[in-house]
Amino acid sequence: MNKKLIYLFLSLGLFCLAPIVLGEDIGNPLSYSDFPTLFGGIATELGKVIAILGGIMIIVAGIMYLTSAGSSERIGTAKKALMYAIAGIIVGLVALVVTDIIKSTITGTDLTTIIQAIATEIATFITPLAVTMMIVSGGFYLTAGGNPERMKVARTAFIFTVVGLIIGLLSSVMVDLIKNTLGI
The pTM of this model reads 0.48
Q: Are residues 42 and 103 in the same domain?
A: yes
User: Which pLDDT value is given to residue 15?
Assistant: 62
Q: Are residues 64 and 125 in the same domain?
A: no
Residue 93 shares a structural domain with residue 117: no
User: Which candidate, 97, 98, 116, places its Cα nearest to that of 108?
Assistant: 116
Q: Is the pLDDT of residue 12 over 70?
A: no
Residue 20 lies in a domain: no
Q: Which residue has the higher pLDDT, 135 or 28?
A: 135
Q: Dihedral sign for Cα 69, 73, 75, 81, please.
A: negative
If asked whether residues 181 and 122 sit together in one domain, one would say yes
- pLDDT greater than 80 at residue 156: yes
Total count of domains within the chain: 2
DSSP, residue by residue, the chain = -HHHHHHHHHHHHHHHHHHHHTT-----TT---SHHHHHHHHHHHHHHHHHHHHHHHHHHHHHHHHTSTT-HHHHHHHHHHHHHHHHHHHHHHHHHHHHHHHHHHHH--SHHHHHHHHHHHHHHHHHHHHHHHHHHHHHHHHTSTT-HHHHHHHHHHHHHHHHHHHHHHHHHHHHHHHHHHHT-
Is residue 64 in a domain?
A: yes
What's the pLDDT at 78? 87
Q: Are residues 90 and 128 in the same domain?
A: no
Distance (Å, whole) CA 16 – CA 27: 15
Q: How far apart are CA 69 and CA 31, in angstroms?
A: 52
Range of the domain at 116: 109-184
**Distance (Å, rounded) from C-alpha 134 to C-alpha 120?**
22
What are the b/e assignments for 96-115, b being 16+ CB within 10 Å? bbebbbebbeebbeeeeebb
Q: Are residues 102 and 152 in the same domain?
A: no
Q: Which of 50-54, 100-104, 125-129, 180-184 has the lowest mean pLDDT?
A: 100-104
